[in-house]
Structures are given as structure tokens and as C-alpha cells.
Amino acid sequence: MRLVVVSAGLSVPSSTRLLGDRLAAVAAKEAAAPSPAPAAVQVVELRDLAVEIAHNFTNGFPGPALADAFGAVVRADGLIVVTPVFSASYSGLFKSFFDALSVHDEDALAGKPVLIAATGGTARHSLVLDHALRPLFAHLKAVVVPTGVYAASEDWGAAGLDRRIERAAGELAALLRGVSAPGSAAAGQASTLVPFEERLSALGQSPRPGKSPRAVS
């Protein structure tokens, strides 16, 4: 079982990454239960991919590191996505990553369990989870777990945060134990291909008369 954390934190160390790590630690342990070995966790740091994400918009294709990150997300059984709040929403880098991913593979997150989380300097932005992240991941056809986790500066060290982490990570783990994410369409383009006769007949056109392959000498 593979768990991937997508973190859009910018500073090093970052509280966004810290929140992602704490969620992943609990989810990995519970998802693997009763096995004592936790599920594998991979962290995708968007900060390291910022330039390739920008180039993806001008180029149309992902650079090697971004392509690897897309692969990791697509193959993940579950995702933990964490963004800092910028201007009352997710950060532009966070959105850009998922914009680029969905152009690359529009079903990359389809049916995939996703835990949404965000960090901010103040608790006043905590609804960002429900007015920004939840609609985004609903649009991307992900299965978003009911509890999201928002951590303001004042929450670190307070007792409530741990409880919310336990609850949200537990919900993700339950989904991971119960469902296995479907494979991505990108892996098998040929298998989703509509045979050409079907395309022709959908337009009322008959397939070519007789079987007359071009002679290739």
C-alpha cells in the first residue's frame, strides 16, 4: 500500500510539511493494521518542482522530476494534500500542480481517497478546507475524507490538533483498508480506445466496404 503526501509548503522547515508528516505517520500505521509495519509513505515537495510546474504550462509536457511526481500520485492508494493558505485560498503552486496533473491525466485522482489539510497564520481561514480544497478535489473526482485538518500557528502544541489528526488520518486509513484505488487511464490508453468501427457507426457511416488493406510491397 502506498501513501503519498503532496506538500506545498515553501519554507524549510515548513509547518505545512510538518502537518503532512504527522497525518501520514498516523494514516500509514492505521492503514497497514494489523501488520506492525506501516504503509509506505512518499512525500512530494512542490517547492522542488516549482520551476518544472511553470515550464509545464509553457511547454505542454512535464519535466523528468514532475513526471515522476505525477507517477507517484497516480500510483498512490491514498493522498494527503497540504497547502498553506495564501490570499484566502490554496497557494498558486498547489493549484498549479493539480492543474498540470489533470491536463496530463484527467482521471489521475478519480476514485482516489484524499485527505485535505491546510496551514495558516490564523484560525480565521480554517474554512478554506471546505470552500476551496473540497470543491477542487470533488472536481478532480477524488473521494475526499469527511474530516479535513486545518492548523493555525496557535494550534501547534494545543491538544485539539492531535485529535483532529487522529480522526482525519483514521478516516483515510479506513478508506484505504476498504477500497483499492482504480488504476489510471494513462497507463492503458490502448485499453480505453474506441475501436474505429464504433466511431464510424456512431456517425451513421458504414465501415469501409470489404476488407481491402492497402498493399504495402
Q: Site residues (CB under 8 A) for other proteins?
A: 54-55, 58-61, 63-64, 189-190, 193-197, 199-200, 202-205, 208, 211, 213-217
- Per DSSP, 31 falls in state H
Q: Supply the minimum distance, in Å, between the C-beta of residue 8 and other proteins.
A: 22
Q: Supply the minimum distance, in Å, between the C-beta of residue 217 and other proteins.
A: 5
Of 87 and 212, nearer to other proteins (C-beta) is: 212
Of 87 and 206, nearer to other proteins (C-beta) is: 206
Q: Which amino acid is at 15?
A: S
3-state secondary structure 155-187: HCCCHHHHHHHHHHHHHHHHHHHHCCCCCCHHH
Q: Supply the minimum distance, in Å, between the C-beta of residue 103 and other proteins.
A: 10
Whole-Å CA distances, 166 to 1, 17, 96, 147, 148 = 19, 17, 29, 10, 11
Distance CA 82, CA 139 (A): 17
Of 63 and 92, nearer to other proteins (C-beta) is: 63
Of 146 and 213, nearer to other proteins (C-beta) is: 213
Of 58 and 87, nearer to other proteins (C-beta) is: 58
Q: Supply the minimum distance, in Å, between the C-beta of residue 203 and other proteins.
A: 5
Backbone torsions φ then ψ of 20, nearest 5 degrees:
-60, -45
Distance CA 118, CA 7 (A): 10
Distance CA 78, CA 4 (A): 6
Whole-Å CA distances, 207 to 157, 165, 196, 212 = 69, 58, 8, 11
Q: Supply the minimum distance, in Å, between the C-beta of residue 49 and other proteins.
A: 13
